[in-house]
Structure 1
Amino acid sequence: MTDINLQTTHGTGLGRFFKMNWVFSARRDLIFLIGSVLAGWAVFGMYLVMGWNMILVWLIWVIVLDTPHFFATYSRTYLDREARKQMPRLLILSLGVFLIGPAALILSYGLQGLGAPFWKTPWYGFMIMVSLWAYWHVTRQHYGILRLYHRVNGETGTKDARIDSWVLYGCLLVPFVAFLARHGGARRRVGLEGRLTFPEREVGQGWIDYVAALQWELWVVLATIVIVVVLLGVFAARQVQRVIRGEKIALPKLAFLAAVLPLHLYMCYSDHLLFTGLLVFTMIVTIYHDCQYLAIVWFYNENRYGGNPQKAEKTYGIAAKLSRNFWIYLGFAIATISVPVWGLGCLIGRINVCSPGPVWGDQLQIGGTTWIAFYVMLTLGFQMHHYVLDQFIWRPSKDKKLREDLKMEEA
């Protein structure tokens, strides 16, 4: 994000109307920060058009991309000698999130022993909390990338930055409420009946009568649509206003929003994903996030460790050694984390497409087998730990060295 990276054209062509400053470079941004949204659409195609076994697709994704993106956080922290010195308190205290799952399980066992009819609530509440946190985590990363585009295009703290932020948050979080209100799996987790779709309007039924007869959840869905339309209308009006005034618009930012918003809006409002498990939705919105994250971490690694590899290895340790080659880096993540963790999941029967059978566990039943419960606590613990660390390690406004490693200013 130095002058070398800011791909700007002045006075001619697109440069007359647009700011053309990129986070990495035009090519890298278009491939990884923007174009990798196609991975999400590809997963959707595997489900809707190809009819593939989505559990198997999920297993491949979680081994090859999703778990390595967790590893990228650990290489950025625990495997980096200087990072360990810089943030010891965070790296120790953040491990406390691994206690949340056991606490929920123990509480459920205790309530069961007391004969409470709601004894499963703490455990299911724990899993719901992690699921919602996961979507918030994806949203926050998109917001972070938007902030980077604001920074490199001189829009930080401006009216446009505020409008963009409201549009991004609104068009990702508000439609998600509509999705949860209609999806059968999400509804059952909170005690509601099956999936919910809009009914056909009866012959001769007026629109006012039709809307008045809808279930309250569909009123919620309609309210979210109104909010999204208003937000997009304000955003479009602002762009028109800038054009009329002869002000340049940040094209990379527009390209980024044009990638992320349609994916989330379509997946949340379409009926297609109401007929499958939440796993498919999770893959679609998260695989884009994974590609972005790995690209950002690798860019960071190149700048932090790449100038003098021998010196970097002495200063930073194994993180620098692994960062000499992306494929070695990815292979190490798969071999040391993905395969052991998900191999165990296959062994105990948590993942049915790879279970060798007979297995050590069965479907999760608190009060019966606990092998799978322990496994769920482990995997969700890693997720939460990743979320907590990410909230603190990517704060360039407060970390000069991070700004240097992200090429946001001259070292």
Structure 2
Amino acid sequence: MKPKIWIKSRSFDLWWFIAPMALPPLIVFFLPEQFTNQQKTEIFPWSWILIVLSIDVAHVYTTVYKTYFKPSAFKIHKLKLLAVPFLVWIVGVMVYSISSKLFWSLLAYFAVFHFIRQQYGFFRLYSKRETSYRWRKGILSITIYAVTVIPILIWHVRGQQNFNWMTAGDFWYINLPFLEPILNGVMILIGIAYLFVEWKEKQDSGYLNTPRILLTLSTCFSYYVSIVLTNNDFIFSLVNVIGHGIPYLALVYFSEKKELKEDSPTLLKLVLSKWGWVLFYAIVFAFAYFEETLWDVFIWRENTVPFGWLYGTFNQLNDDQVISLFVPLLIMPQVVHYILDGYIWRKKDYRILQE
């Protein structure tokens, strides 16, 4: 009997976990020139609302459904859940006071690590019933890291592009372009080894691990198109944000719905009901909108479409000491999301594959 290899189902996984990685980079090749212009260095206002605000920032707050909004989890991890935000803010203030560039650089690399680990996490979910050969396990793990890390390394050896991970100059570039073909060669070799392992796995098990292959190929396609083949802020945001945010939103919703019990709190029962996904998303979007309002009104003053109506009411912060307190406070939910994400998807949660 063929074991279950999809997380929920073939159709659910394809639409919510694979398609967000595979379709955006494919769509890029059919976009009008105004969207793909290499010289454009800023994302379009409405695109920012639909991509960054509605997906990237909103998905950060879905962590609350597995932690702060979940009494059973909060009871077990109460000290951690209360202490982490405070410690993140304190450390953030200290780093920002030393250097704002250092602050944004460390944050950018932490975000990169988080993005990469999410793909590895999905890869592990699809490898629940994997080979017993250690060398095959090694190649499988190396591959999912390679298809994410190598494009980012190519970005580093190229130097500053028309897009940034967070803010201008947040990466520490090494500007050694002669390394790019070497990195491409390494990725090709790893890809060949990976396909060989999948072929051997099919021979031994009698079935092809389709979701794992699709996840690996779509991740490679996504990272390579958005970082290596193009040089545009809109494309980078479109491909990476959709590929990261939507699968996370879907996984949180599905995993919590599966763990729903009779004694679960009313809020969780409500947001996980038949049409509760509307409220599920509305709550995290409200958090995201509030956070971005504070960012734009008091710090950036860049997104006039959603927040410009408040510019006349509140003054932009100019005092460096106040900013050094305020910026780490605003970034705190994002960093807390990165940290808690390392706990809420541990191996015990792989049971979502077992039914």
Matches within 5 A, 1:129-278: 129-151=106-128, 153-155=129-131, 159-184=135-160, 188-189=169-170, 217-241=176-200, 247-270=206-229, 272-273=230-231, 276-277=232-233
> Which residue of the partner structure matches residue 296 of structure 2?
346
Structure 1 runs not aligned, ≥5 long: 1-7, 11-18, 108-121, 193-214
User: 1:249 and 1:383, CA in 2 relative to 1: closer, same or farther beyond 3 A?
Assistant: same
Given that 1:176 and 1:268 are in contact with CA atoms closer than 8 Å, whether structure 2 keeps it comes out as yes
Superposed CA deviations along residues 89-112 of structure 1, whole A, max 9, x for unmatched, are 3212322112222112333xxxxx
Q: How many angstroms apart in 2 are the aligned matches of 1:246 and 1:407?
A: 18
> Which residue of the partner structure matches residue 27 of structure 1?
11
Superposed CA deviations along residues 200-229 of structure 1, whole A, max 9, x for unmatched, are xxxxxxxxxxxxxxx961123233122212
User: 1:47 and 1:377, CA in 2 relative to 1: closer, same or farther beyond 3 A?
Assistant: farther
Structure 2 runs not aligned, ≥5 long: 37-41
Superposed CA deviations along residues 295-319 of structure 1, whole A, max 9, x for unmatched, are 11111121122x54xx322xxx533
Q: How many angstroms apart in 1 are the aligned matches of 2:185 and 2:194?
A: 14
Superposed CA deviations along residues 147-170 of structure 1, whole A, max 9, x for unmatched, are 11111x444775433211101101
Match of 1:51, SS state, is: helix
User: 1:98 and 1:126, CA in 2 relative to 1: closer, same or farther beyond 3 A?
Assistant: same
User: 1:45 and 1:385, CA in 2 relative to 1: closer, same or farther beyond 3 A?
Assistant: farther
Greater gyration radius: 1
> Which residue of the partner structure matches residue 105 of structure 1?
96
Identity %: 16
Q: How many angstroms apart in 2 are the aligned matches of 1:168 and 1:27?
A: 23
The size of the alignment, in residue pairs, is 336
In structure 1, give the amino acid aligned to 2:298. Answer: I
Q: 2:253 aligns with which of 264, 276, 298?
A: 298
Q: 1:83 aligns with which of 68, 73, 80?
A: 73
User: 1:97 and 1:47, CA in 2 relative to 1: closer, same or farther beyond 3 A?
Assistant: farther
Relative to the length of structure 1, the TM-score reads 0.72
Match of 2:300, SS state, is: coil
> Which residue of the partner structure matches residue 389 of structure 1?
340
> Which residue of the partner structure matches residue 117 of structure 1?
none
Q: How many angstroms apart in 2 are the aligned matches of 1:144 and 1:318?
A: 28
In structure 2, give the amino acid aligned to 1:286. Answer: V
> Which residue of the partner structure matches residue 408 of structure 1?
354
Given that 1:361 and 1:369 are in contact with CA atoms closer than 8 Å, whether structure 2 keeps it comes out as no
Q: 1:312 aligns with which of 261, 264, 281?
A: 264
1:46 Cα offset (Å) = 9.2
User: 1:299 and 1:269, CA in 2 relative to 1: closer, same or farther beyond 3 A?
Assistant: same
Superposed CA deviations along residues 48-95 of structure 1, whole A, max 9, x for unmatched, are 744397242123323322222112101210111111111123212322
Q: How many angstroms apart in 1 are the aligned matches of 2:258 and 2:199?
A: 38
Range moving further from structure 2, 130-139 or 341-350: 341-350
Q: How many angstroms apart in 1 are the aligned matches of 2:322 and 2:315?
A: 7
Q: How many angstroms apart in 2 are the aligned matches of 1:300 and 1:246?
A: 28
Relative to the length of structure 2, the TM-score reads 0.82
User: 1:44 and 1:345, CA in 2 relative to 1: closer, same or farther beyond 3 A?
Assistant: farther
User: 1:128 and 1:370, CA in 2 relative to 1: closer, same or farther beyond 3 A?
Assistant: same
In structure 2, give the amino acid aligned to 1:284. Answer: V
> Which residue of the partner structure matches residue 39 of structure 2?
none
Given that 1:303 and 1:407 are in contact with CA atoms closer than 8 Å, whether structure 2 keeps it comes out as no
> Which residue of the partner structure matches residue 239 of structure 2?
284
Given that 1:150 and 1:161 are in contact with CA atoms closer than 8 Å, whether structure 2 keeps it comes out as no
Q: How many angstroms apart in 2 are the aligned matches of 1:140 and 1:191?
A: 21
Range moving further from structure 2, 166-175 or 62-71: 62-71
User: 1:288 and 1:255, CA in 2 relative to 1: closer, same or farther beyond 3 A?
Assistant: same
Q: How many angstroms apart in 2 are the aligned matches of 1:90 and 1:292?
A: 26
Q: How many angstroms apart in 1 are the aligned matches of 2:245 and 2:82?
A: 25
Q: How many angstroms apart in 1 are the aligned matches of 2:43 and 2:267?
A: 36
Given that 2:201 and 2:208 are in contact with CA atoms closer than 8 Å, whether structure 1 keeps it comes out as yes
1:339 Cα offset (Å) = 2.0
Q: How many angstroms apart in 2 are the aligned matches of 1:159 and 1:385?
A: 35
Matches within 5 A, 1:67-82: 67-82=57-72
In structure 1, give the amino acid aligned to 2:146. Answer: G
Q: How many angstroms apart in 2 are the aligned matches of 1:44 and 1:98?
A: 38
Q: How many angstroms apart in 1 are the aligned matches of 2:28 and 2:285?
A: 24
1:340 Cα offset (Å) = 1.3
In structure 2, give the amino acid aligned to 1:104. Answer: V
